[in-house]
Structure 1
């Protein structure tokens, strides 16, 4: 029988932080916490230990996850995962703590929000694959509905109403501070060695060089794949091939520049959503969801590049507002995509059907961004665990996650610049009085950014981000209303 005094396997992959921020909550095992009664096979680590999982009907399962987790998913993924652990592992003892650690370690590596994936996992244990889908939907449903409502209200008041816009003008630098803080948290786990927790210089190199590659306008996917392979070669002590691969990327880039010139800014995108049609929005969500290693903060840069930079169908300020709204709702942060789909479809269609298309766009992009995590979870945890425990794949994911840090860091700085400057580019095209007013907003926005960053580093309470958003919305009325 497992006891609280027995050693519990530590999470083997502490690489990412969650959307609050990061993907790595502080899940510690206290000595007084109870264990489930069955004795797990040491080789299997308790994977078949389901003796305390209640068999719930689909309606009861839907209500259970909706009421216990969906309605109370405040505070970001760290708080969400802690809530799931406390209720299902510590209190109700559905599975052992050792098994929970193992399950969570697997979902760390896979794309998608872990809180939703954990709900699906427990739903599968209780009522099979259909139960997993039911549990995942129940967890995400409240946040999705609230985001739909927020998107609609924003479309009604957010574009022209000066009071509404003033609050969001203040929220933009605060959100930029949240992203920079999250980048630091994610990096703190993503560039460390698993066996010693020391910083791995090669993962730091992967992050820095990926950031350089973005400045050189090398496509994000090229860098992610390259540094995944690069770190895999280093892990297997194939130093010469790794060095040749590293050099080859810049030799190839130099040849490209000589014969075709410097890549354009849109070369960072895949070009899968040049217009916000329903099929394009679904594909955008699908690819973003498949890339969400490290949580929603990894999906943010990809969606931004496709929608704001290449497609140019979503203004930068609206994109920043989407992230701000996502931070205050009881939902996985990936629901920011719901806002993006709604506003993109709404702005693209100025006719009578704009609202109908907006709701459809919100739904399809949300389905796309959640689809990968549903597939990975429902497909079978045991198979996934075997795959991610493969040494070759594990080292590839390590290199990929190190590279992701460079991507997020660059996007964090780009969002910082855009949020502090505000609409300076647009103001320059208007009368001098409006340009002066827009320029005058830069100072207060910069101060808000610095204050938010200090608060985020000083206070680590799960509701800090929510309080910052509320205070920022109020402060905007005093700072940015003419």
Structure 2
């Protein structure tokens, strides 16, 4: 540990210097493979177990808040911890370094995909990755379900969420609101299903830096302030929306870039539950409404995001690149794709800083509030149902060449005689490798892509 030089009362106590924190955040950003679960596991190991910056109870409380927010929870969690330690500059460094490696990698791979994606060998590799990604999504349903569905009521909420989004196509924000209301009501009517949250230590002699700082009366910036809240809201709304206004002014309201800025800004507000939840919403809009990409390209984008560091929600960057590359006429295809990538990344992650800088002080003040924790628990259960919907969508579009809509609710049904045997074998093998033999996701993706490429050469 080094003595802080940030100034103010925080300098009275040992805590990581900004330089030391920057090195740790860079390491976490480079190692953040495996989607939200893998990224949260890396942060837990580095921040809780190794460096002891934050206690496990406080870490989980922050995570629950981030899961309730729209957008990528792992990114928001990094911003949260960085902000607690080093104020706004700490949150900016943590969030930017968490996103930057994935942004650079996805942009490079998007360019390669757009220029060479239809080369037979590359097509075969991505075909294999799609099958493995299906296994990753199914594994995510099981993993998150084990953590979130702790009793029959939570299982019921997850089931209702799945039926609402898959059968009745209910918008995801309404599902989140409904789950939160059920959690609040359940806390009062069925309290045994919503146990009281554990309280963390704020002892000045705690082994964890943040708890020790708070216990000694430091970190005054974590206290709620109405004046500060207004200032943060106005500042970050300008930062968030200014590029969208520039795109509209430069290319017109109906240009692809302007529409992407507007759509993904809306997505940042209405998509809750992290990357897996947002994909179902984005897939429906980008594929079926805007026609920017095909279902196959959507799966290719997810495969790219799964194999690179950074938040899984970086798949939106790929969607925007391909949509602008193929459909924006005001610029050359390559520059349009790059512009779409930058704009979409900006409007996707700028709100994350707003949510944390604005809401974290109030969440800290409500850390032991039973009602809030009940709402968080119910929303987490609903997210399991939404992820299950996503796994069904991926299954249909990965294993079958054709699907059709049947019934008055237009539920998608597979054309059974169009099943792809290779996709089925790869998906089952990937699922067994991950669940039974605990093979790492990176190796599963690599093996599936390699097998598919070798099969294509035969």
TM range (shorter): 0.7 to 0.9
Equivalent position to 1:180, from 99, 120, 138 = 138
Task: Return the offset for 1:208.
Answer: 1.9
SS of structure 2 residue aligned to 1:379 = helix
Q: Structure 1 residues 208 and 92, CA, compared in 2 at 3 Å: closer, same or farther?
A: closer
8 Å contact kept, 2:132–2:426: yes
What RMSD in Å do the two structures reach over aligned CA positions? 3.4
Q: Structure 1 residues 167 and 91, CA, compared in 2 at 3 Å: closer, same or farther?
A: closer
Write 1 or 2 for the structure with the bigger share of helix: 2
TM-score (norm 1): 0.69
SS of structure 2 residue aligned to 1:221 = helix
Deviation string for 1:253-300 (max 9, x for gaps)?
A: xxxxxxxxxxxxxxxxxxxxx987233323433344445544311111
8 Å contact kept, 2:401–2:418: no
Structure with greater contact order relative to length (CA < 8 Å, sep ≥ 6): 2
8 Å contact kept, 1:173–1:448: yes
Deviation string for 1:410-450 (max 9, x for gaps)?
A: 2211211111124789xxxxxxxxxxxxx787111111111
SS of structure 2 residue aligned to 1:459 = coil
Structure 1: tracts of 5 or more residues without a match: 1-34, 37-47, 193-198, 240-273, 426-438
Aligned equivalents of 2:76 and 2:298: distance in 1? 26
Aligned equivalents of 1:50 and 1:282: distance in 2? 44
2:169 corresponds to 1:210? no
1:151 alignment counterpart: 110
Structure 2: tracts of 5 or more residues without a match: 3-9, 192-252, 405-416
Q: Structure 1 residues 330 and 50, CA, compared in 2 at 3 Å: closer, same or farther?
A: farther
Q: How many residues align?
A: 379
SS of structure 1 residue aligned to 2:76 = helix
8 Å contact kept, 1:284–1:368: no
8 Å contact kept, 1:52–1:93: no
Aligned equivalents of 1:364 and 1:452: distance in 2? 35
2:288 alignment counterpart: 309
Task: Return the offset for 1:457.
Answer: 0.8
2:279 corresponds to 1:300? yes
Equivalent position to 1:137, from 96, 104, 113 = 96
2:207 alignment counterpart: none
Deviation string for 1:81-113 (max 9, x for gaps)?
A: 344344444444444555445444543444444
SS of structure 2 residue aligned to 1:217 = coil
1:22 alignment counterpart: none
Q: Structure 1 residues 231 and 169, CA, compared in 2 at 3 Å: closer, same or farther?
A: same
Deviation string for 1:214-264 (max 9, x for gaps)?
A: 31333333333334323432332299xxxxxxxxxxxxxxxxxxxxxxxxx
8 Å contact kept, 1:275–1:313: no
TM-score (norm 2): 0.73
Deviates more, 1:323-332 or 1:293-302: 293-302
Equivalent position to 1:285, from 253, 264, 275 = 264
SS of structure 2 residue aligned to 1:334 = helix
Aligned equivalents of 1:323 and 1:204: distance in 2? 27
2:212 alignment counterpart: none
1:442 alignment counterpart: 420
Aligned equivalents of 1:367 and 1:96: distance in 2? 31
2:166 corresponds to 1:190? no
8 Å contact kept, 2:61–2:367: no
Aligned equivalents of 1:446 and 1:345: distance in 2? 32
Q: Structure 1 residues 102 and 411, CA, compared in 2 at 3 Å: closer, same or farther?
A: closer
2:180 alignment counterpart: 228
1:121 alignment counterpart: 80
Matches for 1:355-394 after TM superposition, within 5 Å: 355-379=334-358, 381-387=360-366, 389-394=368-373
1:171 alignment counterpart: 129
Q: Structure 1 residues 125 and 314, CA, compared in 2 at 3 Å: closer, same or farther?
A: same
Deviation string for 1:36-95 (max 9, x for gaps)?
A: 9xxxxxxxxxxx9993323426xx7655532x2222323444443344344444444444
Equivalent position to 2:18, from 53, 56, 61 = 56
Aligned equivalents of 1:446 and 1:456: distance in 2? 16
